A and B are shown apart, each in its own frame.
Chain A
Amino acid sequence: MINRMLGLAALILGGAAVLVPSGSVTEPGGHAGPIPPRHDAIEADSLAARIIRNGTAGLTLVDLRSQPAFESYHIPGAVRLGAADLAQAGLPEATIVVLYDEAELSAPRVWLLLKAQGYPRVYVLAGGLAAWEIEVLHPQLPPGMSRDAEEEFAARLERSRFFGGSPVPATARRDTMPRLRPDSNRDRKAAFDIGPGGCFY
């Protein structure tokens, strides 16, 4: 009996939904509407702009990958620390802490640990080093860009050059993209600590 009543209720609610016009329905996050801001992460583009503007002053960039991976490439100014090292070493509380790994594999877990320890300003690099590679080092020129998009892309090109990257032609497939090169940030180190620290946003 109760099954039939619940079924009937579902039928009424489902049937009524058909009558709702599309304009009054919000789609889940994704294609429709602006992407909701993440309070726990910073986009690769924003991090690059922040480093170019202020250097790494007031910023602690933590690379959570292995030592060989770190030596092969790391975001300029980053320090390598494992999750266990972090718990012991502690971090300067006054700075903004940005954690990254290959592709947000272990960084969210470490983010949670640091938050639980009371660090107020901890962020994960959205998409990890993979996103850094695609968005900052090797941005791809999309075909048929609008004027706004062209201006945005010009800014991306500048950021890419700053970090020793190179843009990817619009026709190139992403999986044939040049991989992170060792040494591409070695000559960039002098460019850091060029100004006082500030906020990300």
Chain B
Amino acid sequence: MDLTAPFYQAGALGPRSGLFIAVLIGAAFGFFLERAGLGNGGKLASQFYLNDLTVFKVMFTAILTAMLGLFWLGQAGVLDVSLILLSPTYLIPQLVGGLLFGAGFVIGGYCPGTSCVAAASGKLDALAVFGGMMAGILLYGEVYPAIRPFAESTGMGRISFSQLLSVRPGVLVGIVTLLALGGFALAGRIEKSRGGRLVQPE
């Protein structure tokens, strides 16, 4: 097969067509996030009170679909997995960043992507979160030179779970699939025991 993904890295797309496709994918991403109900801050925040686990289910569905797709397309030779960028791991800074992210998510009711989606549909709370996020990005850029020693500490390189655990990638795919499916079943039970999913007026 001649056509190999990822198309941009394989040279099948130039910067212009790459940008054009990015806009299309971004629009589709926003549309489906909104349709999945993730443009509602109350619904997002109620995940943390275990009342409504839609976010968990949507995210794990996305992870599962992407993981199985990448694995089997790679096996079929349609996708060159080695060209996919793997971000390096910096354990402690990323743990701290994750905690900060989670705290912001609970307080603000949105994560970065969903704040854009909800802001686009006119929600003022999402607009405030979006503004805060932009200010935070600018601030981080300004202070980055000062905190660089911390941000680059405990580096583990570009490492995947299968390398870290010395497990075959296929075995890891199987384990994550079981975890996700088990998680879906458990999430349904938890929601039922808490009185069903949150339905908020739009």
Contacts and interface: CB of A to CB of B under 8 A. Distances in A.
B103 to A, nearest CB: 25
B159 interface: yes
Given A25-B168, A28-B160, A130-B148, A7 B85 contact: no
B162 interface: yes
B170 A17 contact: yes
B72 interface: yes
Chain B: interface size category = 35 or more
Interface stretch (A31-39, A46-54, A91-99, A160-168): A31-39
A15 B184 contact: no
Interface residues of A, number: 33
Contacts of B149: 175
Nearest to A13: B68
Most buried by B among A30, A39, A112: A30
Contact of B158 (A7, A18, A25, A29): A29
B169 interface: yes
Contacts of A146: none
A30 B15 contact: no
Given A24-B75, A30-B159, A130-B148, A14 B174 contact: yes
Closest 4 CB pairs of A and B: A14-B177, A30-B158, A17-B173, A18-B174
Given A21-B170, A25-B168, A175-B149, 18 more contacts: A10-B68, A10-B181, A14-B68, A14-B173, A14-B177, A17-B68, A18-B170, A22-B168, A22-B169, A24-B75, A27-B82, A29-B83, A29-B84, A29-B158, A30-B160, A31-B158, A103-B148, A105-B144
Interface of A: 7, 10-11, 13-15, 17-22, 24-33, 36, 39, 102-103, 105-106, 112, 115-116, 130, 175
19 contacts: A10-B68, A10-B177, A11-B181, A13-B68, A13-B177, A14-B68, A14-B176, A17-B71, A25-B74, A25-B75, A27-B162, A27-B169, A28-B86, A30-B160, A32-B82, A32-B163, A36-B82, A103-B148, A116-B16
